[in-house]
Structure 1
Amino acid sequence: MSVQLRETAQALAQTLWREHTVYRERSGGVVIRGEHVQRWISLAPAGGRDEILVRVGRILDGGTTAPARSEAVVPLSTETVQLAATCRRLLAEAASGPTPAAARPTTAHHAVNSGARSGRRAGGRGFGYWAVVACVVGIAALAVYGASVGT
């Protein structure tokens, strides 16, 4: 299936983009990178015997890939033109979604660790907020006290 998947990816890449790179993933899938459009397409074996999982996503600054934004399962026997139409639809869906300013790929481990760090930072900011409020209240109380003592 990997040979047929690679041939399908080559034909699809030539149909979609003049400039592209096709390479094999460690998992046995094939990736098509379109650097000029900052998008990638992945073709991988799906659950069915003659099905492939088509996933699309963005290429971030620096060349790293963002997680998939859209996906679909299609028969491997689908003609290149129909597969290209599916990919165009998925690419349009991915492009229409929200674009975070500082998007970066995350793994489960990274997401857990960054969540812990951001939780500590949020707690630190919360403490700072309450410290400022306490200082303002204290200064106001001193001003009221000083005004009442002085009269």
Structure 2
Amino acid sequence: MYAELRETATELAGVLWREHTVYRERGGGVVIRGEHVERWISLAPTGGRNQARLRAGRLLDGGTTAPARSEIVVDLSTGTAELAAVCRRLLADVAAADAPAPSRARTGRARTGRPARAERPARAGRPRRAGRPPKSARPRPAGRRHTSLGSWVVVLCVAGIVGLWAYSQFHVYGF
């Protein structure tokens, strides 16, 4: 079965991509990697005769593979052109799942999907979310006031200084 999968994968890779790598995976299947398109396709044996599980996913930074986004069981007796059409459909599903929201522009962005620092709006110029007043204008719930640790330290220092002054006054004048 592996020899048949390997042969089918090699033919399929030649139809799909000019640049590709075909290798065996641990489970006994075959993986086709397209580094230039950042996608991978896997053909793995199934329990059925002359069938294979076809999965597609994307390649992450550093060359690792993301989990499969879509999969289907195909009959290996169909021609390479039909298998290539199925693979293209799976790859289109992967690309659609990776596509950003329509409101975002893809120009000037790094691989992270975030805009470059120069393109980001300044924080002060951002509009506030509708229906929510700023934090300083919100009423504080009753009974939820807390004194911070820094405030307690200041209170204790002042009390210590007052205590030392009182001790020195009583000690010197003998009250």
What's the counterpart of residue 95 of structure 2? 95
Shift of 1:137: 4.0
Distance 1:21 1:29 in 2: 14
What RMSD over aligned residues (CA atoms) do the two structures have, in Å? 2.5
**What is the 5 A alignment of 1:130-149?**
137-138=144-145
Q: Which runs of 5+ in 2 are unaligned?
A: 101-110, 113-139, 148-175
What is the rounded CA distance, in whole Å, between the counterparts of 1:65 and 1:51 in structure 2?
A: 24
Q: Give the alignment's TM-score, normalised by structure 2.
A: 0.57
Residue identity in the other structure for 2:20: H
- For residues 78-103 of structure 1, the C-alpha deviation after alignment (integer angstroms, 9 at most, x for no partner) is 1100000000000001110146887x
% identity of equivalent residues = 65
Q: Secondary structure at the match of 2:145?
A: helix
Cα deviation for residue 46 of structure 1 reads 1.5
1:35-71 Cα deviation digits (max 9, x unpaired):
0000000000112111100000000011100000010
Deviation at 1:26, TM superposition (A): 1.4
Structure 1 gaps of 5+ residues are 103-132, 141-151
Higher-Rg structure is: 2
What CA distance in whole angstroms lies between the structure 1 residues aligned with 2:146 and 2:71? 58
Q: Residue 37 of structure 1 corresponds to which residue in structure 2?
A: 37
Runs of 4+ in 1 over 3 A off after TM superposition: 98-102
| Higher percent of residues as helix | 1
